[in-house]
Amino acid sequence: MARTAVSRRLGGGPLRWRAARLTDRRIESEAARTLVFEVPGWPGHVAGQHLDVRLTAEDGYSTQRSYSVASAAEDENVELTVQRVSDGEVSPYLLDDLALGDLVELRGPVGGWFVWRPEQTEPVLLVGGGSGLVPLMAMVRTRRAVGSRTPFRLVYSVRSPEYQLFASELRRGDPGLDKTYVYTRSAPPESPRPPGRVTASDLSSAGWPPDFEPTCYVCGSTGFVEKAAGLLVALGHHPGRIRTERFGPSG
């Protein structure tokens, strides 16, 4: 049922703003919260897609931002995981001021490029930096929800353990999903690797050899994506198999 709804949305049904009600808020990390929205008429999404959130003030000023859908494609509610940008306009508002029961406007889901569909059978490399894990997590959750055996490898670069998203869910483990954490500022004592930015050797030891022809999904701040996608190309991955989603300078 969800599937026919999804194909309707991707097939060019009208894109319009819908009212969405905040029904729950969960703490994910030091700086991030998951917001659960009830969206009547939500047509369903494909893992990796995002939506636009529009906020309108009483004086008519309005602003919009994009957020990835964090939930599995099968989910009825729409979950967003938003990380605070401390001098930001929208993210602190969503985290601190939006109250349960409040409405925002959502438009989407959109984008048919940065997506993973269960029909894909090639190995997958997910490379996420900070909040860039969010759309990749939707792929992991969708893989789990449909019982897919497509091999996934995840390389997650994060400042420190306190900033790690979805930590306990990922710790529970999924068969066929290998995880590697790259801590950039401070690593837990048991971490095999000293803190530092992602390197070519992180991506070659934790990723797939290029001749396995994996699809690589790279998401995070613009700086992180530039770096990681450049390393993948240098390691021999074909640029056409590297899909990127840049969140912005500090996203």
Ligand X SMILES: Cc1cc2nc3c(=O)[nH]c(=O)nc-3n(C[C@H](O)[C@H](O)[C@H](O)COP(=O)(O)OP(=O)(O)OC[C@H]3O[C@@H](n4cnc5c(N)ncnc54)[C@H](O)[C@@H]3O)c2cc1C
User: Would you tell me which residues interact with other proteins (CB under 8 A)?
Assistant: 7, 10-12, 14-15, 50-52, 64, 66, 107-108, 110-114, 221-223, 226, 243-250
- By CB under 6 A, residue 50 contacts ligand X: yes
Q: How far is the CB of 33 from ligand X (least distance, A)?
A: 9
Nearer to ligand X, 86 or 168 (CB): 86
Total residues interacting with ligand X, rule: CB under 6 A: 22
Whose tokens are 């996420």? That residue is 128
User: Amino acid identity of 157?
Assistant: S
Report whether 47 contacts 142 (CB < 8 A).
yes
Report whether 184 contacts 168 (CB < 8 A).
no
Considering only 61-69, 163-171, 195-203, 236-244, which stretch makes contact with ligand X by CB under 6 A? 61-69
Residue from 114, 94, 117, 115 nearest 106 by CA: 94
- Answer for which of 9, 18, 33, 65 binds ligand X (CB under 6 A) is 65
Token pair in block for residue 84: 């605070």
Q: How far is the CB of 55 from ligand X (least distance, A)?
A: 9
Partner interacting with residue 130 (select from other proteins, ligand X, none; CB below 5-8 Å by kind): none
Helix (H, G, I), strand (E, B) or coil at 170: helix
Distance of CA 43 to the CA centre of its chain: 19
Q: Which x/- pattern, by CB under 6 A, does the window 7-46 give for ligand X?
A: ----------------------------------------
Nearer to ligand X, 94 or 151 (CB): 94
Output b/e per residue, 165-183; b: 16+ Cβ within 10 A.
bbeeebeeebeebebbbbb
**Eight-class DSSP state of 71:** S
Partner interacting with residue 221 (select from other proteins, ligand X, none; CB below 5-8 Å by kind): other proteins
Report whether 233 contacts 207 (CB < 8 A).
no
- By CB under 6 A, residue 68 contacts ligand X: yes
Nearer to other proteins, 158 or 218 (CB): 218
Token pair in block for residue 231: 């390393």
Residue at shortest CB range from ligand X = 88
What are the residues whose beta carbons fall under 8 Å from the beta carbon of 173, sequence distance 6 or more? none
Residues of this chain that interact with ligand X (CB under 6 A) are 50, 65-68, 81-83, 85, 87-91, 131, 134, 245, 247-251
